[in-house]
Amino acid sequence: MLYSVLTGLLCGAALGFVMQRGRFCLTGGFRDMYIAKDNRMFYSLLLAIAVQAVGVYALISFGIFQFTAGTLSILPAIIGAFIFGIGIILAGGCATGTWYRAGEGLVGSWIALAGYMLMATVMRTGPLGWIQSQAYSNTNGTNSIAETLGVNVWIIVSIFVAIVAFIIIRELKKPKVKIPGLKPKKTGIAHILFEKRWHPFFTAILIGVIATAAWPLSAATGRMFGLGVTTPSANILQYLVTGDVSFINWGVFLVLGVLLGSLFAAKMSGEFRFRMPDVKTGLNSFSGGLLMGFGATLAGGCSIGNGLVMTAMMTWSGWITLACMILGTWTASYFVFVRPLKKAEAKAAQAVTA
């Protein structure tokens, strides 16, 4: 247990620290792809996936641990991921983003986290548990892309890495836009860690390395998976309600570490402060959290478990759910941001011509 506590907390703290300082927000990234036509965060996600894919399959090749992709259930992956995408817009952050923003003192994220943990628990062992078991009663063959195509997984990984490298090099060649900032108050390593604006690609590489390290650290405790948020979040609530210590594993300490790492980063950078949402935002956050918990559990993972980890393992479920999460995010963004703006603009135009 001591090993699980130490390595889980350290790995989670590293992830929370990096995500907070690098402002690695997939919700904002997916939203900006649609609204602002800005793909930088999505490209950063692809880079993190590529780094993890190479690292994890190298570890597997050396016999450090084993991985089985399992079988694919398409329908729950599509429906669950789409609902999850809608939920993260209402909640103001994805599953991991909610944990790290809670560490910044954002009360709305705590509210979203409560809804997320509650619904994930209800979907796993509560009255809605039958939905997941029924949804996964039918499968659609192997979940491994390489097995489906009948090729070595390294061929898939190599092609993906080449595509990502091309995208990243193209982006780095674009003219840099200088953003004026305040005069630095810190110097040396303190300035770099707690004050300097991190490049999203640098953040992505660090996240890819942390995601890679999570696999052997977790596997050593008998948990054969890397970074994951939904099941550990549900396990925390299940333990608090039942007192059953079997719910406490490496993943639980991982998500608690994310909170602590983000809290430390926010405090040291001067970004921590309690921010209370208004009633409407609070209700949206809780509703979004409920949708996140439902969707992530049905889809078998959140934007990290599926969108970062299972994509790196080159599984169908990972890439299908990532695409559907983005579509869900875009759908919610239209109704939450774009449509109200268009109505306001139309109303203003009518007022001018009246």
pLDDT tens by residue, 214-256? 999 999 999 999 999 999 999 999 999 999 999 999 999 999 9
What confidence score (pLDDT) does residue 182 get? Answer: 67
Phi, psi (degrees; rounded to nearest 5) at 144: -85, 125
Phi, psi (degrees; rounded to nearest 5) at 353: -80, -15
CA 113 to chain centroid: 13
What confidence score (pLDDT) does residue 188 get? Answer: 83
Listed as ranges, residues in the chain with pLDDT below 70 are 177-182, 354
The tokens for 143 are: 């979940």
Closest listed residue to residue 99, CA positions, set 262, 220, 242, 248 = 262
What confidence score (pLDDT) does residue 200 get? Answer: 96
What confidence score (pLDDT) does residue 305 get? Answer: 95
Q: What is the pTM of this model?
A: 0.95
Rg (CA), the chain: 20
